Amino acid sequence: MANKALLVGINEYGDGNGLRGCVADVTEMASLLVDKGLFERRDIRLLTDKRATTDKIYVHLDWLVDGSCAGDRLFFHFSGHGTIFPERDMVGRMASEECAICPIDFDWTPEHAITTSRFREIFRYLPEGVIFDWISDSCHSGDLARSINSLRVGEGYRKPRQMPMPADIAWRSATWAANRSNEPDSLRLALPPHLNGAFMSGCEEDQTSADAYIDGRYCGAFTSHLIHRLKVDGLSIPRTELRRLVNADLDEAGYAQDPELHGNPAVLQYGFQQGGAV
């Protein structure tokens, strides 16, 4: 049985879109996975800031899935900006929208956006029986008019992890949206249903995930509360109960985000430590 974990955290976005807690998210999560005995240090790869280009993320995702077989455990955690990405047809007109994560070189071109369909292509050939957890602490929001808060140091700092859409793209998107009824394809749709897999997002599709300052450190509000629960309740807590508790903790702390949990129903009732293979 092989274990592999890939954790990607990006703070250093340009054009005033920088974040502060994403690298801390993935380093703390990686330490937790090792401390709890779920992975060895050699099983884990971190990709952060300027190294987290589109090409390098693809290379590391290939490493993550390559050679996997039933019983293997895979773990993918992304902390950074997310967005709704407009897909165009052959003549340049908008044809659809997909949720996407934003690499460090994200520039609103298809070459530098990792969308639902691209994740689907990467994960679709994973064999049945692979235990796969995917955590994304980013915005998958359809509310493209939401403003980006200014950076504030210390207590009270909260910034949405949503890449703001340029005005020209936003105009085309809004025009197209007025004539369609389908919602953007969520990243969760890239999780193959045959896997012992689970996808947990930092928020619902019409919300934003907060970059925050909690207990004297910058972090993702979702990742911080998730790690806290895993430390307090252990890795055997069922994923469904874990999500419920994290949602309650975020609500109590005043964060307007509700993490979602999707995946194989047979695995959601188990915890990370148990795996939950069927």
Pairing of strands 3-9, 44-48: parallel
Q: Which of 22, 102, 139, 203 is catalytic?
A: 139
Residue 72 and residue 3 in contact, taking contact as beta carbons nearer than 8 Å? yes
Residue 44 and residue 88 in contact, taking contact as beta carbons nearer than 8 Å? no
pLDDT score for 57: 98
Is 102 marked active-site?
no
Q: Which of 60, 77, 81, 140 is catalytic?
A: 81
Give the integer Cα–Cα distance in Å for 157 and 27.
21
Phi/psi at 46 (5° precision): -110, 140
The residue extents of the domains of the chain are: 3-268
Residue 274's contacts (CB-CB under 8 Å, 6 or more residues apart) are 236
Please tell me the pTM assigned to this model: 0.87
18-75 confidence digits (pLDDT tens): 999 999 999 999 999 999 999 999 999 999 999 999 999 999 999 999 999 999 999 9
Is 139 marked active-site?
yes
Give the integer Cα–Cα distance in Å for 224 and 30.
13
pLDDT score for 154: 54
**CATH level 3 topology of 3-268:** Rossmann fold (3.40.50)
189-227 confidence digits (pLDDT tens): 888 888 899 999 999 877 889 999 999 999 999 999 999
Residue 109 and residue 87 in contact, taking contact as beta carbons nearer than 8 Å? no
pLDDT higher at 176 or 137: 137
